[in-house]
Structure 1
Amino acid sequence: MTLRLLALAVDAHDPARLAAFWAEVLGREVVDDGRGLLLPGTATQVGLRFVASTSERVGQNRVHLHLTSEALGDQRRTVDRLVALGGRETDVGQLPDEDHVVVADPEGNELCVIEAGNSYLAGCGFLGELACDGTREVGLFWAAALDWPLVWDQDEETAVQSPAGGTKVAWGGPPLAPRHGRDRQRFDLVADGVSAEVERLVGLGATRLEAPDARGEVVALADPDGNEFALSPA
């Protein structure tokens, strides 16, 4: 099996500004790959792609990022750096006893800066987690789709992680937030033998949404929760 999670695609009014912000935050280079501005990941860190869109955000995002802290003081330094680059601290209803800090990027996409000593994200790298809205069923789907171990399965919450380690992908379980139109964040995947992978994913519970694009390369599908994702040749 060759399926690989290349990036989290994010709709943006100003992709160049958002890509520049995240490139500074993560220490990555921006690549224009013809489908958006890509911040390539590694074998253990998921990439990000920023795609031009005029759609307005309605309701909460279905995915947000968790950045980790290695040592005491790193959390505050990261928050201050995010703010200096154009982010802002924000309140999304976090409880007084919660230790993470919520920051919004320049287009209002929330992320959490996790405190040092968090054992759950220990060893996951700076981009520690993609925290997603989703059911246990969809967590099991992605574990099978990516052939990644299920590293958390408790109280309807699930998480998967590459066998190489690194960024976790997690789903928080019900209740799910209502969906308002097309998701502004989507998984971008690549594979050798796209047609065979499409058939395999459909067999696992995905739904094919549309035919390949004009170049015959990108296929749009949805996972069992209805979250759109794209599959293209490696």
Structure 2
Amino acid sequence: MALRPVQVNMKALDGSAVGRFWAEALGWSAHSPGVTTYVGPAGGPAGDFVCPDPEFVCIDVVPVPEPKTATKNRVHLDLATTSPAHQAELVARLRALGATPVDVGQGEVPWAVLADPEGNEFCVLEPREIYRDTGPVAAVVVDCADPRAMARFWGETIDWSVREVADDHAVLRSSKGVGPYLEFLRTPDVKTVPDRVHLDLLPYPGDDKAAEVARLRALGATDLDVGQGDVPWTCLADPEGHEFCVCALS
């Protein structure tokens, strides 16, 4: 048994506007079947949405009443580029869409650090060979204190392979070799506020969601009450307190 990451969940005051930004940023489409705005590549012969997408980790923007605090998100997206010209063009296009440069203490680096219209940080990376086949999202990046421990927990939680583990970082990717990487980076700061960006996981058809949740608790996940009430998904936190959800099969 294992779970698959299917989407990055983002909270926003204006979910529709943030969803449109990310759709334009990634060259994907925004779809609002209800309260939330789903951002992903159009699939199928009619250009309809395929959920979950078989290759990409998509984005689900959820409206909330609270604005983002000044605290840096501990989960962010890295966007891939194919050349220096592509990187410069993408940064310019994103700024025209409403992104702003931010200083998170990065210093002189070859990548650009930006924030979406509601302040969610993300990076536009310089061309890197490792990300040449990921699609527009190179990686979902998580700040943490112990990348080795995060690799152990997440390597057992999801059906992705652990590609690299060191004291300062750990890297996972789908065993199919498609889509983005999941990266854990060691940082000196500690978690002080709820994550505004988190992963949503989904069981495979035929697997039992309750059994999966019980398995994650045995691995060190803890139950989380974020005021969700009676919902079909289960809110949990990993051993360092990063929130994530186990969704129900529809």
TM-based fold match above 0.5 = yes
1:125 aligned partner: 135
2:26 aligned partner: 26
Out of 213, 229, 233, the position equivalent to 2:244 is 229
Q: Are 1:214 and 2:227 counterparts? A: no
| 1:47-126 → structure 2 map (5 Å cutoff) | 47-58=58-69, 59-96=71-108, 98-116=109-127, 118-126=128-136
1:6 aligned partner: 6
Change (3 A) 1:162 1:207: same
Deviation track 1:24-49 (CA, whole Å, cap 9, x = no partner) reads 11122222354621113633321111
Structure 2 CA distance, aligned partners of 1:105 and 1:5? Answer: 22
Kept in 2, the 8 Å contact 1:89–1:104? The answer is yes
1:15 aligned partner: 15
Change (3 A) 1:53 1:164: same
Kept in 1, the 8 Å contact 2:74–2:191? The answer is no
Structure 2, unaligned stretches of length 5 or more? 42-52
Structure 2 CA distance, aligned partners of 1:46 and 1:176? Answer: 27
Deviation track 1:177-208 (CA, whole Å, cap 9, x = no partner) reads 3312x221121111142101101111111112
2:44 aligned partner: none
Higher mean displacement: 23-32 or 5-14? 23-32
| 1:38-49 → structure 2 map (5 Å cutoff) | 38-40=38-40, 42-49=53-60
Deviation track 1:85-119 (CA, whole Å, cap 9, x = no partner) reads 111223322222x1001111111111111112x23
Out of 169, 192, 216, the position equivalent to 1:201 is 216
Letter in 2 for 1:198: V
Q: Are 1:154 and 2:170 counterparts? A: no
Structure 1 CA distance, aligned partners of 2:170 and 2:33? Answer: 32
Letter in 2 for 1:214: D
Residue 162 of structure 1: how far off its partner (Å): 0.6
Residue 233 of structure 1: how far off its partner (Å): 1.5
1:175 aligned partner: 188
RMSD: 2.0
Residue 124 of structure 1: how far off its partner (Å): 2.3
Structure 1, unaligned stretches of length 5 or more? none
Kept in 2, the 8 Å contact 1:60–1:177? The answer is no
Over the matched positions of the two proteins, sequence identity in percent amounts to: 33
Name the TM-score, length of structure 2 as normaliser: 0.84
Aligned residue pairs total 230
Change (3 A) 1:159 1:82: same
Residue 54 of structure 1: how far off its partner (Å): 1.9
